[in-house]
Chain A
């Protein structure tokens, strides 16, 4: 009998192939984080020996970890595919969104508008995302094939039932789908799979000496995008990141996990969720649900 990673892998590959077969112009949402890296890896396997039949789509806030962008560009080359970039700055310049102000300002929420504009401009009828149901309670309600209306909105109370392995990608003009092939994976599954498949990750996931400040219960990396309060003093700390979002909102944790095995061990014994250091989720109990309804990933 095969193990749970084999089963999760086969399930994800099945879903990725359904996307290929049911949609005309699908793409993979790629953030440079571990989940989208694993998903791209699965998509490559799904069509081997043919090459990856999807472009990678990056919604770029401009507030990136420089390492993540470097990794992205190398990854696209290795995958031998196209990269489609949607720039939040373009949406700001066009006036479709307005930059937040204040010391807590970030561009997380603005991404939704840029994402929808990118979908529209490139005529994507389906984007695959690396979201997992174990990440957050609103995501636990998400389908594999998530139907979005012509405003890109998610209606959690009116979702299509999903039975057996029968996925329904039928849509009306203007509507599109978000598909989450690794819905059933947990954070631990992702890490074990990365180890098994020897998948390369950005350095940011491993503990290194980094310049950080203590803010909102975590170590926020110092960058040109955040305003330091008078009381905040940058410090050099051994820090790593459990998730990668914008550099302005992704807090690191103190850690000595410099290699993959150390990271896995640390997560196995951790008592905090991985999104616990994400400023975007701390805004309210309903933060994720509200963003998803608007069209967030």
Chain B
């Protein structure tokens, strides 16, 4: 059984919470006591039907106000797969939350209200999904029951969305007509839409190819720490611990430490308490080398294609903090396991959220804004373009006074 992480995006009232509640409920991931609590609360609120969103709203304020405040994570599994849903709110701080949820997602569900069709929010969500390089997007056209399960309505939205797809850099897009409220095409094939032949949403999620692009890239592993047991059995052991960001590694492979560019061959690989001959992207391992070269936390072990080693980078960032950018200030940059001081030396353009074009704007970046910038660091950093490596191509900026994470960035 493997693992699919997906995120959900939709405007307010697109029925996102209902969809998630329905997936959890129909895949039998909701326990009796949880369901009883939801039924009780629905009754207390005077509702006729069960409010599935109560299953997903975790905080007191959310339940009382009927809103979702923050990214929440949901879990369910079927015999085929385990799923992690990053459930992001539709309105408050939506850019920041969607960027967060999308950063680790293999797939995104974008919801469209069949009555509304493609709206501005749809274009934004698609743009963000493209920006974050989510490999697979499923467009769910919801509330089909409210348009009499009409195929022409569905076809028109599909064709409108194809224009959106062109402008938002999406790779693979699928479409599905659903009714989350009634369960059409969620787990069971809809009897109301015999004209639609594709798999149901759950079937799609169970079978969609998790295209791990990082497997086919050059070997990269940011070093987290150096392991030196100093014990009798492992007296001279010196291992480099990290999680492989991309590619694979075998005993005997030549690797280079960046930024120093010293090279050596792999002597042994430890995966937990086992010795292995080979490891690949996603594995947390410890590597020992044939020669002693100077390597410490923050370095990147690499093979194959040489990464970029520079003190400047072109990047697209999303401003996350409630406080605006302090123009000309230094921030702490965290990229891989490396940390250095950095500043935004130039804001080339801020995304106009309506036209989806980056426009020149001299004002400091504020919460939820996306901008193309030039980053300048006090020492050289080692990176790859984000769209070919989500780990070595991403970074966050941290305010050194408050310690807050103020921005998330992707190197172009």
A contact residues vs B (CB 8 Å cutoff): 1-4, 6-11, 13-14, 17-18, 20-21, 44-51, 133-134, 137-141, 147, 156-157, 159-166, 168, 170-172, 175, 183-184, 186, 188-189, 270-273, 276, 285-286, 289
- The 20 listed contacts between A and B (C-beta, < 8 Å) are A3-B3, A6-B283, A7-B2, A7-B282, A9-B272, A10-B243, A47-B241, A49-B237, A50-B228, A141-B71, A157-B61, A160-B404, A161-B99, A161-B320, A163-B99, A163-B100, A163-B408, A166-B335, A272-B32, A273-B31
Q: Which of B33, B394, B395 makes the CB contact (< 8 A) with A273?
A: B33
Q: Which residues of A contact B320 (CB under 8 A)?
A: 161
Q: Give the number of residues in B that approach A within 8 Å (Cβ atoms).
A: 73
Which of B74-82, B152-160, B187-195, B352-360 is the interface stretch? Answer: B74-82
In the bound complex, how far is the Cα of B77 from the Cα of A134, in angstroms? 12
In the complex where A7-B3, A48-B273, A164-B390 touch, is A271 in contact with B32 (Cβ < 8 A)?
Answer: yes
The answer to whether B234 and A18 have CB atoms under 8 Å apart is: no
Q: Is the CB of A1 within 8 A of B227?
A: no
The 7 closest A-B pairs by CB, nearest first: A170-B403, A45-B272, A137-B58, A50-B229, A13-B284, A163-B103, A4-B3
Q: Which of A4, A49, A186, A189 contacts B233 (CB 8 A)?
A: A49
Of A3, A157, A172, A184, which contacts B2 at CB under 8 A? A3
Which of B3, B33, B242, B394 is within 8 Å of A272, CB to CB?
B33
Contact A188 B241 (CB under 8 A): no
Pair A170/B77 contact, Cβ less than 8 Å: no
Residues of B within 8 A of A141 (CB): 58-59, 69-72
Q: Which residue of A lies closest to B104 (CB)?
A: A164
Whether B403 pairs with A168 at a CB distance below 8 angstroms is yes
B398 touches A20 (CB 8 A): no
Distance of A175 from chain B, by nearest CB (Å)? 8
Residues of A within 8 A of B61 (CB): 157
Q: Which residue of chain A is the closest to B393 with respect to CB atoms?
A: A164
Tell me if B312 counts as interface (CB < 8 A to partner A): no
Least CB distance, A199 to chain B, in whole angstroms: 13
Q: B334 near A: Cβ within 8 Å?
A: yes
**Contact in complex: A138, B3 (CB < 8 Å):** no
Q: Is the CB of A140 within 8 A of B284?
A: no
A166 CB contact (under 8 Å) in B84, B228, B395, B400? B395
Of A21, A134, A137, A163, the contact of B394 (CB 8 Å cutoff): A163
Using a CB-CB cutoff of 8 Å, which residues 334-389 of chain B contact chain A? Answer: 334-335, 337
Cα of A237 to Cα of B297 in the assembled complex, Å: 54
Residues of the A chain whose Cβ atoms lie less than 8 Å from the Cβ of B233: 49
The reply to whether B394 and A166 contact each other, CB–CB distance below 8 Å, is yes
Q: Please, which residues of chain B bring their CB within 8 A of the CB of A183?
A: 73
| Contacting residue for A46 out of B31, B241, B391, CB 8 A | B241
Separation of A159 and B284 alpha carbons in the complex (Å): 27
Given contacts A1-B2, A18-B224, A138-B59, contact A168 B334 (CB under 8 A): yes
| Closest beta carbon of chain A to B319's beta carbon, Å | 11
Query: Which B residue's beta carbon lies closest to that of A13?
Result: B284
A20 and B58 within 8 A (CB): no
**B401 and chain A: residue at smallest CB distance:** A172
Across the interface, which residues of A come within 8 angstroms of B225, CB to CB? 17, 20-21
Say yes or no: A45 contacts B273, CB within 8 Å. Answer: yes
Q: A166-B395, A166-B396 are in contact. Are A133 and B73 (CB under 8 A)?
A: yes
Interchain CA distance A238-B398 in the complex, whole Å: 54
Q: Which residues in A have their C-beta under 8 angstroms from that of B70? A: 141, 156-157, 159
- Whole-angstrom CA separation of A13 from B284 in the bound complex: 7
The answer for the CA separation of A7 and B31 in the assembled complex, in Å, is: 26
Find chain B residues with CB under 8 A from A10 CB.
243, 282-284
Evaluate whether A285 and B63 lie within 8 angstroms (CB atoms) in the complex, with A18-B224, A140-B74, A163-B103 already known: yes
